[in-house]
Structure 1
Amino acid sequence: MATGKKAKNVGKGMKGKVKETTGKAVGNESMEMKGKAEQAAADAKQAGQKAKDTMKH
């Protein structure tokens, strides 16, 4: 996987985790759900990149 793409996906996942945690702390369900969705999207992109890398080898 390209290092830049991996870093970007990891960053998005971390951003989602912060948003989820903040949402929980302040009782904002919408923010919490958006954070979980961002994490899921980042995980899916990372899995797709790993699959591409596996196919190249």
Structure 2
Amino acid sequence: MSLGDKIKNAGEEALGKVKEGVGKLTDNESLQAEGQADQASANTKQAGEKVKDTAKDVFGS
């Protein structure tokens, strides 16, 4: 995973946490759900990048 991808995914996850927190504070279920979805998306991307990195290590590509 490139450093740029790591930073982008971490930023997306952080933004999701902020959205979720603001949603909880303002009792906005839609914003809270959107924040959770952003976090899930970032985590999925991070997992995919880890799989790619592992495959590169195993297969030497």
- Taking structure 2 as the reference length, what is the TM-score of the superposition? 0.92
Structure 1 moving runs of 4+ over 2 Å: none
Q: Give aligned-pair identity as a percent.
A: 53
Structure 2 runs not aligned, ≥5 long? none
Partner Cα distance (2:50, 2:6) in 1: 9
Amino acid at match of 2:55: M
Structure 1 runs not aligned, ≥5 long? none
Partner Cα distance (1:28, 1:55) in 2: 41
Deviations 1:3-55, CA, capped at 9 Å, x for gaps: 00010000000000000000000000000000000000000000000000000
Q: CA RMSD of the aligned region, Å?
A: 0.3
Q: How many residues align?
A: 57
Structure with greater Cα Rg: 2
- Taking structure 1 as the reference length, what is the TM-score of the superposition? 0.99
